[in-house]
Amino acid sequence: MAIGIISRMMEEMEDFVIEDDVLKKYKGKGGDIIIPDSVTSI
């Protein structure tokens, strides 16, 4: 079960374009998302 959660988290991380801790773009399907902790500004 933990492997499934980690796999899903990795897939979701690919939906974010982050440069120098700045969220530049979201490429996911939408809905409820959790912005990664590493993002300091949008």
Q: Domain segments of the chain: what residues?
A: 1-42
Read off the pLDDT of residues 6-28 as tens digits, 9 standing for 90 and up: 666 666 678 899 999 999 999 98
Q: Is 19 exposed, middle or buried (0-12, 13-18, 19+ CB in 10 A)?
A: exposed
Q: What is the pTM of this model?
A: 0.65
Q: Specify the amino acid at residue 12.
A: E
> 4 or 26: which carries more pLDDT confidence?
26
The DSSP-derived string for the chain is -HHHHHHHHHHHHTTEEEETTEEEEE-S--SS----TT--B-
